[in-house]
Structure 1
Amino acid sequence: MGKYFGTSGIREIVNEKLTPELALNVGRALGTYLDGGTVVVGKDTRTSGEMLKKAVISGLLSAGVDVINIGLAPTPLTGFAIKLYGADAGVTITASHNPPEYNGIKVWQANGMAYTPEMEAELETIIDSGSFRKASWNEIGALRTADPKEEYIKAALDMVELKGSYTVVIDSGNGAGSILSPYLQRELGNKVISLNSHPSGFFVRELEPNAKSLAMLAKTVKVMKADIGIAHDGDADRIGVVDDQGNFVEYEVMLSLISGYTLRKFGKGKIVTTVDAGFALDDYVRPLGGEVLRTRVGDVAVADELAKHGGIFGGEPSGTWIIPQWNLTPDGIFAGALVLEMIDRLGPISELAKDVPRYVTLRAKIPCPNEKKAKAMGIIVREALNSFDYERIIDIDGVRIENGDWWILFRPSGTEPIMRITLEAHTEEKARALMEKAKGLVKDAIARA
């Protein structure tokens, strides 16, 4: 983690660490780094978005960079617009699934992929040095506004096609997905029922799409006898799914199903996921000609591996999916269209999900001050390697130890002052015993750090 940038761009409480001054300097640094060119800028629905967006735009213009302001826009639309307008980079003002007092700044490359940690480190160096490019009065960047929504929908309809029509409930969480996701589903020929789709910036549910936060969506699907419920976080780079029976579909199950469907749609090949994804994915895609590769947590790491290996699909167990045939930006809105095509071709999710192996996954968050993370991780690695009987180790992001029928991942959060434990086992009893031991180990390490 850098001084300003974490796992997923800058993400802080507004007017504390994330101030208009910092936003201005990010714009100036990006303009200096690019040394000319054009940048697309969009924001999610947060109340602080306009303030921060204008500061970033001012910084970019002052460095002689042209800006295309696409206004209120989900992250997938920013990624799409970068390619549509042939821009050199993009910026989204968003804190994704964080609470409303947070906001953030995420920077995107010309190919739609997020800036890598190395690129973010260069921006940080420019910010700290204060050596910004200052354009003369006659070379200040030009600002124009654009609305790429229609082009996005048209391009999506060229890739996804339904033979039938379905009743779809969309819960946009009062986020930026409100202005695009229901409209794409309608254009696909579906009957759309919208929940929480007024883009107010005041979130009526927790933004991370999970079983608890989507209770109202699940109820609505059941009552309206809908075929599916689709939910997004604040910037709609994620997707959560409720099946035709009104049950939230676990992330691991959806990841397996959509990976399998992309292999059917686009052909056999590599599926890229992260170190916190379970064994079910490997077991489900192997018979369909899929080979699973694991990388660091975060969409940039997934996109990077997809680009390197020419993968078919990339996804995290958080509902963050990347469809490289479409774009290297995580896209919960296009993902929603793809899920409907899967139902159209293969049948209801409740039936499809029965084919996905079920193991017991447990997750825990242990509070850990950011300044203690590095030392605590050192202790955790040493202790974990000594006290668990494991066969394999993956240490590309935190440390994951694996045995034939279980695995545990210890990982410091890149966005919050917590240490994460994720584990999987074949039985509830084994999973609980492993978690008990893992929690004790982590708490002890943090106390000693």
Structure 2
Amino acid sequence: MPRLFGTDGVRGLANGEVITADFALRLAQAAARVLRDPEGTEGRRPVAVVGRDPRASGEFLSAAVVAGLASSGIDVLDAGVVPTPAVAFLTGEVHADFGVMLSASHNAMPDNGIKFFAAGGHKLPDAVEDAIEAVLGEVPERPTGVDVGRVTLMEDAGTRYVRHLLDAVEPRLEGLTIVIDAAHGAASEVSPEVFRLAGAEVHVIGARPDGLNINDGCGSTHLEVLQAAVVEHGADLGIAHDGDADRCLAVDADGTVVDGDQIMAILALSLKDHGTLVDDTLVATVMSNLGLMQAMEAAGITVVQAGVGDRYVLEEMRRGGYSLGGEQSGHVILLEHATTGDGVLTGLMLAARVAETGRSIADLAGAMTRMPQVLINVKDVDKHRVDGDEGVRAAVTQVETSLASAGRVLLRKSGTEAVVRVMVEADTHERALASAERLSVVVRERLAL
């Protein structure tokens, strides 16, 4: 039976086969059993912070989660519509036992998901998720009378989060013109507000959520609208979030995309200049561009590679005590200020670097040169055989030998689908494409279902 939890909680079609109101209630009850502090804290009942993004299904799913928690004896602080990193921050801020976020992140509106944060605001390790899954089918605890949980609306959730973000910004952003694309998502209010309070002139797109338009032709997965808006307003840069605002991608004044690898390069150099890049080390994933590795090596910065998924980046960061890590997709973790990827915080730090140096974001992004990278998803294959198939291994070795030091190959199993991702980097796009297509044919032929 496949594992219930993916790389970022449980996700799927809302009100479909899995993500139903009944499932949300039962999952919350299971989480309550595993995540509550058995010793109690200062004699109080366990507390959980619950937030959601604005997609329509979040209304009934969050109600089900709240019901599941309160019926299990958990006091609930309902933060309403807030970004995922806000739930992580608030969980630590109020010393809650755990946090719950209802969101499918960058997915289209029909999907939704449920993710948990442990005490302190950290994502759960695999073992804890497995423990929740193990008790999912058991009869839940049902306290009665004074032992049932109470539900309180956390009216100052957004204000607390904005204040936390502003505390991290130095210098101020006066003189900068910034376009924010909030993806009609969870950051539609807080992101424009915090950039304005930090001193920037802000133009806003994608910030009118109606429950149905989240990620719809906007945000970090659809940068075309932001690119046009930045040029139209003559802005210094544009910031794009996804639906739950744990990502940030950027656009320079000419409308050119600045991806997560380039953002990490900019921030790594900034932290190094300020002496706050712990051990002069950046944590990235195996999917990060070879150009990032080369740029960091030239700057005297070590790159530690983690598995794909910001939770695995965070695990590596905590293991080594590092201060910066992230993914090419725009999940960036600044561990001095946050316990998870925070797209608003990342955008603020990026803008602050522009303000501090007086350099354009295009100039700053030029610290690294992106190697041409091609990614092909080979579908309907037995992904579990990819590492052991001799024919696939031989094909990979042949391509690696032909590329030598001018590129690299990565084959990766999808965490949720019968898909093998074939990624090739090379000195030219044509060479990367030809190599990726050649490997994809081998994978399709050798691993066909």
TM-score normalised per structure 2 = 0.91
In 2, the alpha carbon distance for the partners of 1:325 and 1:334 equals 11
What per-residue deviation string (whole Å, max 9, x for no partner) do you get for residues 10-63 of structure 1?
110011121111100110001111245211100001110010111111111121
SS of residue paired to 1:98: coil
**Structure 1 counterpart of 2:413:** 412
Aligned to 2:146: 138
CA distance in 1, matches of 2:248, 2:315: 21
Match of 1:432 in 2: 433
Q: Deviations over 1:373-396 (max 9, x none)?
A: 324x345x533322233799xxxx
Contact 1:160 1:337 (8 Å CA) reproduced: yes
- In structure 2, which of residues 389, 396, 404 is the aligned counterpart of residue 388 of structure 1? 396
Q: What is aligned with 2:55? A: 46
**TM-score normalised by the chain length of structure 1:** 0.91
| Paired position in structure 1 for 2:257 | 248
Indicate which of 106, 120, 131 corresponds to 1:97: 106
What corresponds to 2:355 in structure 1?
Answer: 344
Residues 137-174 of structure 1: CA distance to partner in whole angstroms, max 9, x if unpaired? 32111211213222222222222123432111001111
Change (3 A) 1:407 1:60: same
Q: How far apart are the structure 2 equivalents of 1:42 and 1:158?
A: 22
Deviation of the 1:367 alpha carbon: 2.3
* Distance across 1 between alignment mates of 2:218 and 2:430: 31
Q: How does 1:360-375 map to 2 (within 5 A)?
A: 360-368=372-380, 372-375=382-385
CA spacing shift, 1:208–1:445, aligned 2, 3 Å:
farther
Q: Secondary structure at the match of 1:138?
A: helix
Structure 2 counterpart of 1:300, which letter?
A: R
Deviation of 1:289 (Å): 3.6
Bigger Cα displacement from structure 2, 410-419 vs 323-332: 410-419
- Residue 94 of structure 1 aligns to which amino acid in structure 2? S
Residues 225 and 73 of structure 1: CA distance in aligned 2, closer, same or farther (over 3 Å)? same
In the TM superposition, 1:17-416 aligns within 5 A as 17-35=18-36, 37-128=46-137, 130-146=138-154, 147-163=156-172, 164-203=174-213, 205-206=216-217, 209-210=220-221, 213-265=222-274, 266-267=276-277, 268-346=279-357, 347-368=359-380, 372-375=382-385, 377-378=386-387, 381-389=389-397, 403-416=404-417
SS at match of 1:153: helix
Equivalents in 1 of 2:178, 2:29: separation in Å? Answer: 43
Cα gap change, 1:151/1:56 in structure 2, threshold over 3 Å: closer, same or farther?
A: same
Residues 162 and 340 in structure 1, CA contact (< 8 A), matched pair in contact too? no
Q: How far is the alpha carbon of 1:405 from its aligned partner? A: 2.2
Give, in whole Å, the separation in 2 of the partners of 1:35 and 1:160: 34
Aligned residues: 434
Rounded to whole Å, the distance in 1 between the matches of 2:218 and 2:310 is: 18
Q: Does 1:12 align with 2:21?
A: no
State the 1:415 CA deviation: 4.0
Gapped runs of 5+ residues in structure 2? 38-45
**Counterparts of 1:106 and 1:2, CA distance in 2:** 18
The CA RMSD over aligned residues, in Å, is 2.3
Q: Which amino acid aligns with 1:5?
A: F
Counterpart secondary structure, 2:188: helix
Q: Which residue of 1 aligns with 2:422?
A: 421
Separation (CA, whole Å) in 1 of partners of 2:445 and 2:109: 33
CA distance, structure 2, for counterparts of residue 382 and residue 134 of structure 1:
54
Identity %: 31
